[in-house]
Structure 1
Amino acid sequence: MPTGMLFIFAPLLVGYLIQTSNTAFLSGVNRATNYLIVVILALMGLSLASLDNLGQNLQLILKYVVVFSVCIGLSNLAALPIVDKLFPIRVESKKNTLSLSTMAFESIKLILFVGIGLVAGRLLYIDLSWVDIASESVLFVLLFLIGIQLRNSGLSLRQILLNKQGMIIAITIITTSILGGAVAAVILDLELYQALAMSCGFGWYSLSGILMGDAFGPIFGGASFMIELVRELVALVMIPLVIHSRPSVAIGYAGATAMDFTLPIIQSTGGVRCVPIAIVSGFILSLLVPLLMLFFVSLVEQIA
């Protein structure tokens, strides 16, 4: 990563130091974050457009997506049922009132922004040398806003530490995802730390795609984005099917999105008892996505 781990992590830390109860300010932060995600996804598409042998590179991205998704997914799903058995969660019987197709469309819609950037870059024949600098600049602002969101999410450190089930689920996802990433490294013949960084997105597709693209280029950025988007889409289908019999599986596989995007469907199908567990698990994973990714990226740089 050109700017180094500390320089990338600094805006996240500065944002996390800002605590406020001003709802209008926080609402503006949320809107700005959503806009910046759209911008940076379009920039990701422009980065892909600048690649030589685009068709061959897209095949490589697809290969990475399939291998990482299978290895990480199987590793997660092998361990989470054990958590359900050792630390059972009582789930309410509720009928799902949410439209899975609507929620899935919101996820898939993000791919369109990458596609718009890709098509624009290929058809307009514009100079794309500025894209990397622009992506990095937007990334700094985005990490700053994400830090503010995490600090003002409504959870205190005490609440997180006292929710044993949420912590156990998060630790299980972290451990098994890293294990799955190590297996993917062997299959794809990637550097170990590079693959471990790829495995630590935990469902946060926008940030993981941005960080990996900044660290290793648009191929890894595009692959990371798709890997985590696949996790979210699978989670949307899985949650209502398994949450009554395997709530830890449903909450855990949702990853970082358990505290935001997939939380409504977790609450709708599993009941209010699942909400604090999902929020704590999702919060821990969200907080650790940039920390773990940047840690493994720094190890790759040290070896290089």
Structure 2
Amino acid sequence: MVLLLFYCGREFSAILQPGPELGKILKTSAIYALLTTGVSWGLIGALQHRARGKLAGPRAPAQPRRWRLAVMDCLAALGTVALGVIVGRHEWPVLNLIDTRLLIDLMVFLIGVELVEVSLAGVWKDRGAWAIPGLVIAGSALGGMAAALWTGDSPRAGLAIAGGFGWVTLSSLLVSGSLGETYGAIAMASDMFRELLAITALYLFGARSRSRSIGICGATALDATLPLIRAQCGPEAVPLALLSGLVLTLASPVLIVMCLRLGA
């Protein structure tokens, strides 16, 4: 997991290259990430409250020591990402010996091996589980519209950027092809920030707010954040992560293309 966080930061460093647009890109993408993540978190929380915690599972009483450990783990994880950002600004050929995609695939494969005896049938029949990615889509759209109003972007751009659900490479390619390289960089940075927010939430709230923490992982719940979901939310949360991640992965390209065609 440490290696994965390190390489996540290393990839993020590619966005942080000095340039006249860097400040605007970081500010705008942070607004999109905070609003899309925050609204999605709130919608899932509202559904949980209405369902009296049915989706969240049993809630353990607050434990100050556990919170301290969670905060320390979170800071260590973010520090690892920051180290990756710093190292990524320099060319170290030895780091290219490990392929990030291969590392993620290996970790997901190992999780799959452990899930051989786990039934996934229950989650596919659970309407509450299907509601999680649906609320993330709705929350991202609302957050994207609010961010567009805040930054002065068009609704078309706001919805397209919000539709990435953390899928960094896809969103940047589709958005830059229609709206230009600056918006492509904003989409990429926004999805990277969303992934960092998801990682933070998993460390701090994963054990007590599983559905919300998994939901805001977006499409990455299917791969990049799946090992962390298993570690912080427990193996029993993996089926929900797979369902939510799969739905959002399939929905992302369709929604981005549809939004980019609005008013085009």
With structure 1 as the length reference, what TM-score do the two structures score? 0.60
Q: What are the superposed Cα offsets for residues 103-135 of structure 1, whole Å, 9 maximum, x if unpaired?
A: 87469858987x689xxxxxxxxxxxxxxxxxx
From 9, 22, 28, give the equivalent of 1:64.
28
1:159 deviates by 7.8
1:190 is the counterpart of 2:190: no
Give the letter for the 2:225 counterpart: T
1:226 — aligned with what?
A: 189
Q: How far apart, in 1, do the equivalents of 2:182 and 2:87 lie?
A: 17
Moved over 6 A (4+): 110-113
Report the alpha carbon displacement of residue 194 of structure 1 after superposing the two structures with TM.
1.6
Gaps of 5+ in 1: 1-37, 118-152
Whole-angstrom CA distance in 1 between matches of 2:195 and 2:176: 20
Alignment of 1:159-238 (within 5 A): 161-238=124-201
In 2: Cα distance, 1:83 partner to 1:111 partner? 40
Q: Give the deviation of 1:66 after TM superposition.
A: 2.4
Q: Which residue of 2 aligns with 1:256?
A: 219
What is the DSSP-based 3-state SS (H/G/I as helix, E as strand, rest coil) of the residue aligned with 1:273?
helix
Unaligned residue ranges in structure 2 (runs of 5+): 1-10, 61-65, 92-111, 116-120
CA offset at residue 243 of structure 1?
A: 2.2
Letter in 1 for 2:257: L
- Cα distance change of structure 1 residues 107 and 275 upon mapping to structure 2, 3 Å threshold: farther
2:105 is matched with none
| Distance in 2 (alpha carbons) for counterparts of 1:218 and 1:116 | 23
Structure number with larger C-alpha Rg: 1
Preserved contact between residue 208 and residue 221 of structure 1 (Cα < 8 Å): yes
CA shift, 1:220, in A, is: 0.8
Instruction: Among all aligned residue pairs of Structure 1 and Structure 2, give the percentage whose two residues are the same amino acid.
Output: 25
Residues of 1 paired with 2:150 and 2:79: CA distance? Answer: 30
Query: 1:269 offset after TM fit, Å?
Result: 2.0
RMSD: 3.7
TM-score (norm: length of structure 2): 0.69
Distance across 1 between alignment mates of 2:90 and 2:174: 20
- Residue 235 of structure 2 aligns to a residue whose secondary structure is coil
After TM superposition, give the deviation of residue 186 of structure 1 in Å. Answer: 1.3
Q: Which amino acid aligns with 1:181?
A: G
